[in-house]
A and B are shown apart, each in its own frame.
Chain A
């Protein structure tokens, strides 16, 4: 397996420019490119695959530039959003294609195709044609076809977006299992933050052709560097406050931020714990399955809190007018 690195990549179209100063997927890691539609995720993936030539910059596999290598010499596996199974070939032929291109002996091909189909739990469909398979089955065949050649890098472009929610979750954990099993360096493209959080070792959040932040899922979730990242990953409390002598005051609460002046303070609703006390005024509340969400007013600012129903220290049917508040994790944007 290898590491994949992008350095100084630029790709320009009439109305779009992709700029990636530096991005590295470590050996055996699952790195997700996450961002809204049109932000350049697919383009980045295609540059790594060699299907698109950047205007400038380098793609390195294990430190070696591969810019001049055509896709068929990069030893990669790709799964496209619409799977791109060859319609005129059976499942067996589809999966065997890459091995045939590598001129492996017949026996070896049969053995490896069989193993790949086992890996994706799809034995016995060898002689079907793609159109005779369900979407989920097609997706697994596409995965088997990409994996059977033992690529150094696996590239997945929204591989689950054409499936319905149930199958999506099942395949998601299956992809993760296979990726862990094979320890294959994987770059995964999605615009679904839940999928990204569930799967990734690290996530690179993209916006308008740029990478906003790279980090572990929880690190991005609780410590985003920009408002975009904060908002894209889930619901947020973002407050404009003043810091004096490195301390921000919010009602009776105090936060050490280490800087002074105007700051934008961020925290997730889950980081706000409601307890008995007198810090905030309860504006409104909403009971969700197993959880409860409060709208609270502190010092004229409205914040949201979300927590487990079982953690609430009072009778939720008759909450008090004022509650105590504890904010465990926050970030300054």
Chain B
């Protein structure tokens, strides 16, 4: 099985601050880590590989500094990594990102399964996985809680909904996004850390992919972010009404006036 796992590097802390003057994210000094949900996707891929054989290829789009997260993923046990990196991809929204990653999956070739985390913790859209599935024209399941190999080319994914559980059988190739309930990602091991520097990280630019230039980067991004701001924190006054219902109702009515 050839499994691709899409990973994103995100700032380590979830308390990223927004500079009130510029409204930009303050990223300086914050270390990049693998998006936590993506670690669940890597773990799922490693388990499937250990069961069925094959290889796990990590795929990421971003600047050079993303190699540290790709190494972290290989230190968990992934076999190799592809970084799609070029100024031309800058400013991509989820659509352009999904398109570019789909093209990279095509270039990797013979891919049976593409896994993503359910969403990234810094942008929280959850859109990239589904968009990749659409561009690849393959079946997809989002928010999977279990992923099990049924036969050589079918996978069953369980999906928890508010009032029901869905068991969905997918014919490969397919795209699945996973929830953190799926598994406990393994730790990186010291040996794999050393090996992660010996395993290949292939870097592709727009020249290496069979792309429509109008669909990548800023040009391919219909989303425009008009404003980013830190929400002002409001502390509202709370009154706890007395236990006696008659008194409580009369106090409440008094407040409604």
Do A and B make up one complex? no
- Which residues of A does B touch, CB under 8 Å? none
Which B residues fall within an 8 A CB radius of A?
Answer: none
